[in-house]
Amino acid sequence: MKGSSKVVDALNAGLTIELTAINQYFCQAKMCHNWALHILGDKHYGESMGEMKHAEWLIDRILFLEGVPEIARYDVIRVGDDVKSQFEYDLTLEMKGCDTYREGIKVCYDENDPGTRDLLEKILVQSEEHVDWLESQLELIEKIGIQNYLMSQMGPHVEDAH
C-alpha cells in the first residue's frame, strides 16, 4: 500500500531516535554492569530491547507503506561517564523522541493515515512513561544523594539470578 511520503518521513524520523536509543541504552547497560550496578544495568538493557521493538514496528510500517527505512541515520549517541549524566542524556533523547512522535501524529492526521497515527501514539505513550521514570530517578538522586542511589542499584544481575 503506497503511503504518503510525509508519513514515511515522520516514521523515519522516529526510527532515527529509536536506533540512537538502542545503542545509547545498550552501551549504558554494559557500563552499569561493569560498575556492578546490576539493577540499573538490567533496566538499561531492557530499555534498549524496548527501543529495538519500536524500531521493528517503525520499519515494518515503513515497508508496508512502500517506503525505505533509513537505518543509517543516527542522532548523537551520548552514553555519559556516570549515572546522573546517563539519565540526563537519556531524558534529552526521550523528550526529543516525544516531540518527534507528536509531530508525526500531526502529519498522520493531515495525511489521513489513522493506522500510522495509532502506532506513533502507542510509541509516544511508552516514551512518555520512560521520560517519567527518568525524571523520577533524577529527583531521587537529588533527594537521597548519588551514593545512596548507586547503592540501591547494586542488586544481582538478572542473568546471575538463574
Whole-number Cα distances in Å, 67 to 8, 9, 149: 6, 9, 45
Q: Is 52 among the annotated ligand-binding positions?
A: yes
Q: Is 128 among the annotated ligand-binding positions?
A: no
Q: Specify the residue for cell string 548523537.
A: 76
Q: CB neighbours (10 Å) of residue 145?
A: 11
Q: Is 51 among the annotated ligand-binding positions?
A: yes
User: Which of 104, 132, 133 lies closest to 8 in space, CA to CA?
Assistant: 104
Q: Is 162 among the annotated ligand-binding positions?
A: no
Interatomic CA distance for residues 82 and 87, integer angstroms = 9
Q: Which residues contact 93 (CB under 8 A, 6 or more apart)?
A: 17, 20, 21, 24, 75, 78
Q: Is 66 among the annotated ligand-binding positions?
A: no
Q: Is 130 among the annotated ligand-binding positions?
A: yes
Residue 97 burial (10 A CB sphere; 0-12, 13-18, 19+): buried
Could you list the residues known to form a binding site for Fe cation, using ranges.
18, 51, 54, 94, 130
Could you list the residues known to form a binding site, using ranges.
18, 51-52, 54, 94, 130
Could you list the residues known to form a binding site for heme b, using ranges.
52
